[in-house]
């Protein structure tokens, strides 16, 4: 496929691929706690292509490990460069299954002079759905190294509560489909509250993602979400823009 060839080329030449960084805020809505790295590809002909379109192709065509390595490298470089408290990186199941993955992460952290608490890995429930012993083992190793793991899109998968038991994580990110109605719907509020209660019981941090309005923010804070992410606060930014708002010139 043409996209595969172009992606290979982009990975080799380092052209067109870059990361954008969306900050996460404390529940005061002002303090920046860290940022999530989000992959962007500006295709020379087709323009911007979403990672939800090309990451699955990369998975299928055996490019995900190289692509993931690029993302981790760039993310670490930025965390160091602009002195971020931590950087969160999305990783796929294939990356986790790679036996050398934990070692590679350590190597990258060391190369960039970062302690393990400066890196967080985001996995989706889908990863746990098809989880094997090797995934469980990788997660265990990664957390033992002091790198924290967040469960992304929380609440959208199946029997998520089972998974928490079997695959402990440090943080859940409540999917934005719950956040969407949380200002108006009592049912949505009950669901968020239930997720916050579960998180407390498992000693996990809670992020609400996709926060777009101040009414949503107020309700989420009231329900106990300690971290907030969404367009209300900031979209995914270029490094220079993130550096700028961190420096307080927002
Ligand atoms: O940023 P955007 O909405 O385009 O992201 C679409 C999807 O792609 C999201 O689910 C996001 O988690 C995923 N994604 C973004 N960056 C990366 C990445 O570096 N690696 C992986 N595996 N997924 C990513
Ligand atoms: O699956 P994941 O949570 O990694 O997806 C991240 C994607 O969500 C990014 O592409 C980002 O652009 C998008 N996103 C971040 N904040 C918001 C928001 O407030 N509203 C909407 N609709 N999308 C958001
Ligand atoms: Mn994510
Ligand atoms: Na998400």
Residue 36 tokens read as 């999530």
Q: How far apart, in whole angstroms, are the C-alpha atoms of residue 198 and residue 194? A: 6
- Gap between the Cα atoms of 123 and 199, Å rounded: 16
Note the pTM of the prediction, 2 decimals: 0.97
Q: Is 52 in the pocket of ligand 1 (CB under 6 A)?
A: yes
- Residue closest via CA to ligand 2's atom 24 equals 210
> Domains in the chain, start-ordered, CATH in brackets?
2-246 (3.20.20.450)
**8-21 pLDDT, tens per residue?**
999 998 789 999 99
Q: Kindly state the tokens that stand for 16.
A: 């067109």
Q: Tokens for 172, please give them.
A: 């859940």
pLDDT digits (tens, 9 = 90+) for 39-53: 999 999 999 999 999
Cα–Cα dist 102/249, whole Å: 37
The CA 76 to ligand 4 mean position distance, Å, reads 21
Say how far residue 125 (Cα) sits from the centre of its chain.
Answer: 12
Residue spans of beta strands (DSSP E) within 44-100: 47-49, 87-90
Q: Is the CB of 92 under 6 A from ligand 1?
A: yes
C-alpha 85/C-alpha 120 separation (Å) is 11
Assembly ipTM? 0.97
Does 51 contact ligand 1 (Cβ within 6 A)?
Answer: yes
């Amino acid at each position: 496929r043409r996209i595969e060839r172009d992606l290979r080329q982009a990975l080799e030449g380092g052209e067109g691929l870059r990361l954008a960084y969306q900050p996460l805020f404390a529940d005061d809505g002002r303090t920046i706690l860290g940022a999530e790295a989000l992959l962007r590809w500006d295709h020379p002909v087709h323009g911007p292509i979403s990672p939800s379109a090309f990451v699955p192709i990369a998975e299928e065509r055996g490019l995900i490990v190289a692509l993931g390595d690029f993302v981790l490298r760039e993310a670490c470089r930025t965390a160091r460069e602009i002195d971020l408290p931590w950087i969160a990186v999305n990783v796929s199941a294939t990356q986790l299954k790679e036996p050398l993955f934990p070692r590679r992460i350590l190597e990258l952290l060391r190369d960039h002079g970062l302690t393990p608490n400066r890196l967080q890995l985001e996995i989706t429930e889908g990863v746990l759905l098809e989880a094997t012993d090797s995934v469980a083992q990788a997660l265990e190793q990664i957390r033992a190294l002091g790198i924290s793991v967040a469960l992304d899109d929380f609440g959208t998968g199946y029997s998520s509560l089972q998974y928490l038991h079997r695959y402990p994580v440090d943080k859940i990110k409540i999917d934005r489909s719950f956040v969407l109605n949380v200002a108006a719907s009592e049912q949505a509020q009950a669901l968020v509250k239930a997720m916050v209660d579960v998180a407390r019981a498992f000693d996990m941090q809670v992020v609400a993602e996709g926060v777009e309005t101040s009414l949503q923010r107020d309700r989420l804070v009231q329900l106990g979400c300690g971290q907030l992410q969404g367009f209300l606060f900031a979209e995914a930014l270029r490094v220079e823009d993130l550096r700028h708002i961190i420096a307080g010139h927002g």
